[in-house]
Structure 1
Amino acid sequence: MAAQRPMTITEKILAAHAGVPWVEPGQLVEVRVDFLMANDITAPLAIRAFREMGATRVFDPERVAIVLSHFAPSKDIRSADQCKVAREFAREQGLVHYYEMGEGIEHALLPDRGLVLPGELVLGADSHTCTYGAVGCFSTGVGSTDLAYAMATGETWLKVPETLKFVYYNRLQPWVTGKDLILYTIGRISCDGATYKAMEFTGEALADLSMDGRLAMANMAIEAGGKNGIFNPDQRTLDYVAQRAQRPFSPVWSDPDAEYAEVYEFDAAQIEPQVALPWSPDNVRPLSQVERVPIDQVFIGSCTNGRLDDLRTAARILRGRRVHPEVRAIVIPASRDIYLQALKEGLIEIFMAAGCVVSASTCGPCLGGHMGVLGKGERCVSTSNRNFVGRMGHPESESYLANPAVAAASAVAGRLCHPEELGIRYEEVAGVA
């Protein structure tokens, strides 16, 4: 047998799940899966394919999750029927992890509930399944037909991706978050710069980044075309997972001498808050170089930035201030658990007092589905992950992607705005509950 080659974390996970000592980029492997997920848009298609292939039972009702998140609460008859199909299948199969409307967005729910774990292989019928790489697992989005096969067999096939290594050195500057790091990165390599490649994030600048910030970074790997985004687990990761894990897990790490297709090094001290201008997540500029355009709406939420850290930051900026009279501000916690904690901390009261609309947990405005659709010519500052033409509504509307602090400040100013333009010092919002 040939000697084992040094491997990246992605390659190690794929090798372990293929039952082989090593793999290399470009190799096709049959792998077992640890966990599967579908939502109210993708589950009905997967269920139909599942039945068409003659399957009758999922491979393990504890390893398949269905989450009603995209058009839930249902906005019309069609979306109600979609949810009904998913709901009935979950009951029929006895799925342990079925989440009704309002329970949350899958990419916040599954990590926080300890259902996706270090060293695991996870598939989801949603492109932002790559989010879970923040905990050190291989997770990627697949089509509904591929998910149907995996639901029936517990297996799939994959091509081992090349890995790009992104090293962020030095220390993060005030106001800079995981959202800014990933926007900066996508701006540097473009929306197809990581096509079918693993994006491995590392470096000293990430050591102090919260799990919420890491989840935001992994979430947007797909916006660069990435097959997956992934972090090597550190103590912060293991502490987060240990409090939540619903089954044993075995973390792995990249070998020090692993081979990478390319290595990018970025000085975090030179990165400021970033904004992705219409109509692409790679049309990125530093906020200081962006025209202060007037806006009509602000959206704080989504699977990218609807977590507790994000809500705390936005609330600290909105505390004692009012949303601009010509701006609509929508805040959507990414899960019921996050919503409840935000209630306990008084964040929801701050949002309401500032004039925001606070909604039950849903994807909502992110995909122009409901609850915040933009009209012709309207502009929105959004903490979500995509701003393609028509993504949030009318094809002539515009979405600007930014971090929660910039979004909250913009809601007050009525235009794109840095918090310091409102006279807010970073020390006022950093680490103060």
Structure 2
Amino acid sequence: MGMTLAAKIIARAAGRASVAPGEIVTCAVDLAMIHDSGGPRRVEPILKRLGVGIWDPGRVVLITDHYVPATDDESRRIQDITRRFAAEQHITNFYDQQGICHVVLPERGHLRPGMFVVGGDSHSPTGGAFAAYMFGVGATEMAGVLATGEIWVRVPETIRIEWTGRLGHGVSAKDMMLHLCARLGMDGGRYQAVEYVGEGVRALPMQERMTLSNMSAELGAQAGLIEADETTAAYLRSVGAPDAEFAQWRGDADSEVTEHHVFDASALTPQVAAPHSPANAAPVEEHAGTAIDVAYIGACTGAKLDDLRMAAEVLSGRTVAKSVDLVCAPASLRDQEQARQEGTLDVILKAGARLLPNACGICAGYGDNRFGEDVVAISSTARNFKGRMGAASSKVYLGSPYTTAASAIEGRIADPRPYLKGSRA
């Protein structure tokens, strides 16, 4: 019997030839990622009590993204702690105000196939898009990782999700994940590994794959994995990552999985999730016509360069409805600058968008732009839990960047496909 991709990576990290689901093994960590919110201010006191430093500063990536920009004394204090910690612990891979951790980490070449990576954030499964086993932990576990370079894991069972066919124009990875949340539920992964396979997945560019892996967290999975291929290798070359062997980092055809679900990407239509859960997703027509006050293009699942291009394709030559506040927070500074150079950002701004900092911002409920009382919004973010993005009375719908942009134009939730050339609604 062959091994799943999850088992292969964990076996390598544990120094074993093979592992089986249910086994508890100790793994050597290849990389640890922390950010300003759950990082230094949480782990430093623990490390001090233990009387230890970081096991290998070169294997730690520290990113400021939650308390960016600093808007009050508390956020400034947290940023100061983060910068001091980076200096004192000799963390050279420190990215200050460069964007959201889940986008900055891969765009700086830190992720490669076969790596075993721990992140201090619930959306750390994003790394699975690169055939890396990456998952999120809390501050106490992260302190242990930073002190020892190791962590124990229970080898997960794998749920295989296969997408046949290819997505139609105006349908994105975000729609795939909202559909999965509706069909499988928020605990669909049951803290196991999800392996995404099939033509529909292989056809996706890397940033769209990142959205799939990222939102594995919404399925309740520990990790969301996609096998490495030439698309992976090409992206890694483009960001200057060291050459890596990728052919071996895929699940074996005869590996045993606990569930195997098959979906047709070519039949999928734009999806919208109603408040207050991604699992409340349904085809866009079920919510079409719902008036909105705000359209938010932001977050690691909805404002990467590819996401900005989706929004710009819809917004090109058009103007946002007067009743709508369209806000755009590009996921990283690099993506923002590339979008500016190629004209994508200009299209979005000319349509009437306000530009916000490259940070988690509204998505995680940070900063000064959170949604006010009774605001109705559509957002390209991963979550729409009650009160997460602002006032508890606000109502947030989730959609793709395509759908968010189309809704901004109409002033109500709308199908994006009529705005796209060559698309069939």
The verdict on a shared fold, with TM-score over 0.5 as the criterion, is yes
* Post-superposition offset of 1:242: 2.8
After TM superposition, the structure 1 = structure 2 runs for residues 16-415 of structure 1, keeping only pairs within 5 Å, are 16-43=12-39, 44-56=41-53, 58-101=54-97, 103-247=98-242, 249-251=244-246, 252-415=249-412
- 5+ residue gaps, structure 2, are none
Contact 1:117 1:245 in 2 (8 A): no
Q: Which whole-Å CA distance do the structure 2 matches of 1:28 and 1:175 have between them?
A: 43
* Post-superposition offset of 1:248: 5.1
- 5+ residue gaps, structure 1, are none
- Give the partner amino acid of 2:155: V
* Post-superposition offset of 1:339: 0.9
The alpha-carbon distance between structure 1 residues 428 and 79, as it changes in their structure 2 partners (threshold 3 A), is same
Contact 1:27 1:159 in 2 (8 A): yes
Q: Which whole-Å CA distance do the structure 2 matches of 1:354 and 1:172 have between them?
A: 27
Question: Which deviations, in whole Å up to 9, do the C-alpha atoms of 1:109-157 show, x marking residues without a partner?
Answer: 1111110111001111100110010011000000111111111211111
Tell me the secondary structure at the aligned position of residue 322 of structure 1.
coil
* Post-superposition offset of 1:234: 1.6
Contact 2:126 2:214 in 1 (8 A): yes
Question: Which deviations, in whole Å up to 9, do the C-alpha atoms of 1:14-66 show, x marking residues without a partner?
Answer: 0110001111111111000111111111011122222222213x122221011
* Post-superposition offset of 1:222: 0.4
Tell me the secondary structure at the aligned position of residue 7 of structure 1.
coil
Question: Which deviations, in whole Å up to 9, do the C-alpha atoms of 1:73-106 show, x marking residues without a partner?
Answer: 11221121111111100011111111112x1111
Contact 2:169 2:423 in 1 (8 A): no
Question: Which deviations, in whole Å up to 9, do the C-alpha atoms of 1:380-420 show, x marking residues without a partner?
Answer: 11001000110111111111111001101111111101124
Q: Which whole-Å CA distance do the structure 2 matches of 1:371 and 1:112 have between them?
A: 27
Give the share of equivalent positions with the same residue, in percent. Answer: 36
Aligned: 1:14 with 2:15: no
Q: Which whole-Å CA distance do the structure 2 matches of 1:288 and 1:253 have between them?
A: 37
The alpha-carbon distance between structure 1 residues 149 and 90, as it changes in their structure 2 partners (threshold 3 A), is same
Name whichever of 79-88 and 159-168 sits farther off: 79-88
- Where does residue 413 of structure 2 map in the other structure? 416
Aligned residues: 421
Question: Which deviations, in whole Å up to 9, do the C-alpha atoms of 1:186-216 show, x marking residues without a partner?
Answer: 1111001112110100001122211111101
Aligned-pair Cα RMSD in Å: 1.5
- Give the partner amino acid of 1:72: V
- Give the partner amino acid of 1:279: H
